[in-house]
Amino acid sequence: MALRRLREDARLTQEQLAEKAGLSTNAISALERGDRKRPYPHTLNALATALGLGEDEVRALRMLIPRRAVRHPG
């Protein structure tokens, strides 16, 4: 759970990160649990800014946030 680790390293609660990033607490929670697909680029940028991440860390975070399984009909 990369996002949670980064949030905790920054000593932020989910509520604090949500406020700093302009997201809902539910969105932060869902991303940490892997219940959301990868975030949109603007969401990732907001998280990166709120957490003070550099470009390399953002790329790593993008790869580490779990994807929700997609079910295909059939």
Asked if residue 32 lies in contact with residue 2, where contact means CB atoms within 8 angstroms, the answer is no
Whether residue 68 has pLDDT greater than 70 = no
Q: Could you say which architecture CATH assigns to the domain 2-64?
A: Orthogonal Bundle (1.10)
Whether residue 63 has pLDDT greater than 80 = no
What pTM does this model have? 0.78
**Cα distance between residue 69 and residue 16, in whole Å:** 28
Residue spans of the domains in the chain: they are: 2-64
* pLDDT tens figures, 16-40: 999 999 999 999 999 988 887 777 8
**Cα distance between residue 59 and residue 46, in whole Å:** 14
* C-beta atoms surrounding 32 within 10 Å: 20
Asked if residue 61 lies in contact with residue 6, where contact means CB atoms within 8 angstroms, the answer is yes
What 3 state SS string does 43-65 have?
HHHHHHHHHCCCHHHHHHHHHHC
